[in-house]
Structure 1
Amino acid sequence: MDIRVLKYFLAVANEGNITKAAEVLHITQPTLSRQLMELEEELGTALFVRGKRQVSLTDSGILFQQRVKEIISLLGKAEREISEENQLVGGVISVGCVESAASMILPEAMSEFSGKYPMVRYELYTANGDDLRDKLDSCAIDIGILVEPVETSKYDFMRLKVTDRWGLLVRSDDRLAAKESIDVSDLIDLPLIVPRRTIVKEEIADWLGTGTGQLNIVASVNLLTNALLLAERKLGYIVTIEGAYQIRPTDGLRFIPFSPEKISGHVVAWRKNRIFTKATRLFVEQLRDLSGEEQSGGMAE
């Protein structure tokens, strides 16, 4: 039974005249008469008493009118609820993200999420892990996508199934450029440009089996942008994760992974007991659907 025909029936019942109802519905009178007869045939009963100028409802028609009004009302309610569910998810989601392989899933997540919830807007911050943690602590951002190692004691977090290799960025004309991997012996005494984060520098030193004081660190940087310029001018070799370079490849430089391989994972983190808007909560779920595991910690709303 077509909902359109039910609306036709109500129009005729309200107008008491098929011609007037046809005008209201913007269809022809013969078309409306045919639809009503087919409806009566489908139900197996007469719904109208047809006079010369007016029509009135039979007893069956009165009962049917009541039920059709209920059906139309429920349908309208369902349509409004679905519409409101989508439209009420709005506001601003503040996301911080490191430069890494995880940067590549963020646009995908935003694209799919915006398709579902077009009222949502985004504030994006690019920084290293320490800066993003400061923003999480001050509630300047809702969530942060961080590369490990991460001090997560005061955060709830969800691990992403995204990993990144560590390695060295060298000039394409450098003597090391022909190597397939970089080992500890290659790094000794090289002028290194390293991430600013203390915890990362300590991890690099542990991997090398040295203290940070024994490394020839000529510069430390929070993001890769300026480091690339330094490497191009032969001021140093950049220790970095591959994803940070992949999102902005530069002619004349080559990424070479460490051997033995050094891999870092990623987490989506937020302050413990942080109250999320509905939009932010759903966006975290979107990230989990794309590339996530079970979260560690609760998510308030």
Structure 2
Amino acid sequence: MELDIRVLKYFLAVAKVGNITQAARDLHITQPTLSRQLMDLEKNLGTELFVRKHKQLTLSDSGFLFQQRAKEIVQLADKACRELSEQKSQMHGTVTIACVESIASCLLPEIMAAFSQNYPYVKYELYSADGNDIREKIDRGNIDLGILLEPVEVAKYNFLRLPCYEKWGVAMREDSPLARKDVITTEDIQGLPIIIPRRTIVIEEISRWLEVAENRLNIVASHNLPTNGLLLAKKGIGYLICVEGSFTIRPMTDLCFRPFLPERTTGHVLVWKKNHVLSKATMRFLEFVRDKYEKPLY
């Protein structure tokens, strides 16, 4: 026979006040529900726990014995929960994580804030970098986790997809002729001076989108962080091809963003090195992210 801790607490509440109606109010449940739970408990135990008389309930001999054991069981269960909670709250350690400059820069603090509510003693080391730098730091063991913007070569990493997606487009001066458009087509941007991320895999993607060979792209500058690219665009040096989030997380006056048409979207992945031992705090952080977004870890 299985005993439900919740039902044991119901029984103890009724035993304390000797009245179903009052106990139901104290427990914030309905009187019929409480009566049914007590009757089921007595049926499962094969004995009456209460002597019922004039709407008052007093413990029977079996009830007195069961009350003592029920208190012990509930107290033990509460103690176990409290110890687990204390163990959880006392977890220490440092999670080292790098993040690209994108909308993920807004998602990461939300994740950390929620995680810190459960694990307030865990600390963080944060880095901002592009995908190349992040992967190098993970490979060298300088950081444990990295949030990358796709496309990503993930063959040597474990990864978890994050529920944030970006639109690619162009950041430019508000007085640019293209700024009058709501969307930017490949024909609009062809031949114009462009500022792009330095990552080879991204350059290949941009070349494919624009239907122009890489060596024929009019690249006036490349960057590892969009912050630098935005400053160049503000000076009118070129048109910055970037994701919308890299612009919106640090809006600059005199600049605007226009998405590509047809739409070009990309996602984010949280990666960590395969066959690499992670700290307990980092593993718990990964489990938290996995559970929060209900995505499998690969």
Shorter-chain TM-score bucket reads 0.7 to 0.9
Give the match for residue 37 of structure 2: none
Identity of paired residues, percent?
A: 49
Q: Kindly indicate whether the alpha-carbon contact (under 8 Å) linking 2:89 and 2:118 is maintained by their aligned counterparts in 1.
A: no
Give the match for residue 51 of structure 1: none
CA–CA separation in structure 2 for the residues paired with 1:287 and 1:76: 27
CA–CA separation in structure 2 for the residues paired with 1:224 and 1:262: 18
One of 114, 128, 131 as aligned partner of 1:129:
131
Residue 250, structure 1, aligned to residue 248, structure 2: no
Q: Alignment partner of 2:295: what SS? A: strand
Q: How many corresponding residue pairs? A: 243
Q: Give the deviation of 1:186 after TM superposition.
A: 1.2
Larger gyration radius, structure 1 or structure 2: 1
Give the match for residue 29 of structure 1: none
User: What pairs with 1:214-293 in structure 2 (closer than 5 Å)?
Assistant: 214-291=216-293, 293=295
Q: Give the deviation of 1:276 after TM superposition.
A: 2.3
One of 140, 149, 155 as aligned partner of 2:142:
140
What amino acid is aligned across from residue 286 of structure 1 in structure 2?
Answer: F
Q: Give the deviation of 1:42 after TM superposition.
A: 5.4
Give the match for residue 155 of structure 1: 157
Q: Kindly indicate whether the alpha-carbon contact (under 8 Å) linking 1:136 and 1:142 is maintained by their aligned counterparts in 2.
A: yes
Task: Check 1:75–1:284 CA distance in 2 against 1; reply closer, same or farther (3 A cut).
Answer: closer
Q: Kindly indicate whether the alpha-carbon contact (under 8 Å) linking 1:160 and 1:288 is maintained by their aligned counterparts in 2.
A: no
Please, what TM-score do these two structures have when normalized by structure 2? 0.74
What amino acid is aligned across from residue 224 of structure 1 in structure 2?
Answer: P
Q: Specify every segment of 5 or more residues in structure 1 that has no aligned partner in the other structure, as ranges.
A: 6-40, 46-59, 297-301
User: What pairs with 1:20-39 in structure 2 (closer than 5 Å)?
Assistant: none
Task: Check 1:208–1:75 CA distance in 2 against 1; reply closer, same or farther (3 A cut).
Answer: closer
Cα deviation code 1:159-216 (max 9, x no counterpart): 1222111100011111110101111111122111100111101110011112111011
Runs of 4+ in structure 1 deviating by more than 6 angstroms, as ranges, are none
State the superposition RMSD in angstroms.
Answer: 2.4
Q: Alignment partner of 2:151: what SS? A: coil
Q: Kindly indicate whether the alpha-carbon contact (under 8 Å) linking 1:159 and 1:292 is maintained by their aligned counterparts in 2.
A: no
Q: Kindly indicate whether the alpha-carbon contact (under 8 Å) linking 1:162 and 1:291 is maintained by their aligned counterparts in 2.
A: no
Q: Alignment partner of 2:175: what SS? A: coil
Give the match for residue 114 of structure 2: 112
What amino acid is aligned across from residue 91 of structure 1 in structure 2?
Answer: G
CA–CA separation in structure 1 for the residues paired with 2:255 and 2:74: 66
Q: Give the deviation of 1:228 after TM superposition.
A: 1.6
Q: Give the deviation of 1:69 after TM superposition.
A: 9.4
CA–CA separation in structure 2 for the residues paired with 1:73 and 1:90: 28
Q: Give the deviation of 1:287 after TM superposition.
A: 2.5
